[in-house]
Amino acid sequence: MDAALWFLFALIAVSAGGGEAYRWDLPKGFPPPPVPASNPMSAAKVRLGRYLFYDTRLSINGSQSCASCHQQKLAFTDGRTVGVGATGESHSRSAMSLVNAAYSAVLTWSNPNMRSLEDQATIPLFGEHPVELGMHGRERELLGHLRAVAVYRELFPLAFPGTRDAFTVANVTRALACFERTIISARSAYDRYHTGGEPDAVSDAVKRGEAVFFTDYEGSCFRCHGGFNFSDAGTARFHNTGLYNPYPAPNLGMFEHTHREEDAGKFKAPTLRNIALTAPYMHDGSIATLEDVVEHYATGGRTKNPHRDPRMLTIQLTGQNKRDLVAFLRSLTDDELTRDPRFSKPQ
């Protein structure tokens, strides 16, 4: 991009609010994430969003922040079978990883209409079923708490210049979304082997497991976990993987939103990047280990649900195939992500 064009984009970003345009530092093979025109990226918004992400003032009793359920050391999950909110209420689903969420066509486990990180941020903040951070009806209280903090009196006007009052709920969610878009993972052993010029970054078992993963048949792993993000990232697709028959309430999958019988039990295929760090697995944490996950898919699911995805086929895998496949999945771990200071709690 020439200097004149870059200046024009930067000027547009500044006029839309947020100061200096954010400069992506993207790994090879990763396109710039889609960003809504109503919330252009800026370094100031990202910085503000990072502070907010770790701030327990965003919860009803000061006990939790976004980071409570999305911990950096666990690839921005929490290690629980299901989430637990600030009031102690157990949720029905596990906390999905935020890594590479910027590339997701849809967000959350089963809502086909949740397509922006800005909108999604309102759910943990103000949702009541279940209660997560518990701030429904306390919007003015939340903004008052933030306004009382010196660092926010500096950061909000910098992130949203030219506004009469930068302290708004919409700006809170915009800043959170900007920070979350920067959490990009592509430094795993697999990446170093394929794009980093490190031929010894992975073992022979990983190479064999990769061949199993990408074997070209209808039930292949990559059919639902494809592309650079090993997910359905660019499309809004959901899958019934035969976990239950019928699926127990309240986890009815896409059916909760469409009310179509054929959508019962359909959930999003999340990214497999850093999957070794995000146990337990599935939407309800009902599978404990990667070995058990591989076994689940090799057998075509544990129940013969009538709405099961047609790609859920019995796969003839040897014990060695399964071990190699697990080795491949473990090679998708980005250890640098777990300690990258750009994503850690501000000091």
DSSP 190-202: HHHHHTSS-TTSS
Question: What does the pLDDT read at residue 16?
Answer: 45
304-314 mean pLDDT: 95
Tell me: do 168 and 211 sit in the same domain.
no
Question: What does the pLDDT read at residue 17?
Answer: 52
Question: What does the pLDDT read at residue 28?
Answer: 87
pLDDT digits (tens, 9 = 90+) for 215-268: 998 889 999 999 999 997 667 889 999 999 999 999 999 999 999 999 999 999
Tell me: do 163 and 266 sit in the same domain.
no
261-285 mean pLDDT: 97
Question: What does the pLDDT read at residue 234?
Answer: 67
Question: What does the pLDDT read at residue 42?
Answer: 97
DSSP 77-97: B-SSSS-B-TTS-B-SSPPPP
Lowest mean pLDDT among 16-25, 103-112, 168-177: 16-25
Say which CATH number the domain at 39 has: 1.10.760.10
Q: Considering only CA atoms, which of 269, 268, 285, 274 is closest in space to residue 329?
A: 274
14-31 mean pLDDT: 76
Domain that holds residue 268: 189-335
Q: How far apart are the first and last CA of the chain?
A: 35
Per DSSP, 3 falls in state H
pTM: 0.93
Tell me: do 15 and 154 sit in the same domain.
yes
Tell me: do 24 and 160 sit in the same domain.
yes
CB environment 162-185: b (16+ within 10 A), e (fewer): eeeebbebebbbbbbbbbbbbbbb
Confidence of residue 147 (pLDDT cuts 50, 70, 90): very high
CA angle in degrees (0–180, nearest 5) for 26-30-31: 95
Residues 6+ apart with CB under 8 A from 51: 151, 152, 155, 346
286-291 mean pLDDT: 98
- Rounded percentage of the chain residues whose pLDDT exceeds 70: 94
Q: Considering only CA atoms, which of 90, 95, 49, 104 is closest in space to residue 70?
A: 95
pLDDT digits (tens, 9 = 90+) for 152-191: 999 999 999 999 999 999 999 999 999 999 999 999 999 9
Tell me: do 201 and 179 sit in the same domain.
no
Lowest mean pLDDT among 17-21, 65-69, 227-231: 17-21
3-class SS at 103?
helix
Tell me: do 153 and 34 sit in the same domain.
yes
Tell me: do 30 and 8 sit in the same domain.
yes
Tell me: do 27 and 58 sit in the same domain.
yes
Tell me: do 101 and 216 sit in the same domain.
no
Confidence of residue 19 (pLDDT cuts 50, 70, 90): low
Tell me the average pLDDT of the chain.
93
Backbone angles phi, psi at 239, to 5 degrees: -140, 135
Question: Structurally, how many domains does the chain consist of?
Answer: 2
Tell me: do 76 and 109 sit in the same domain.
yes
Residues 6+ apart with CB under 8 A from 201: 189, 190, 192, 193
Is 3 a residue whose pLDDT tops 70? Answer: no
Tell me: do 230 and 301 sit in the same domain.
yes
Tell me: do 179 and 301 sit in the same domain.
no
310 preceded by cis ω (within 30°)? no
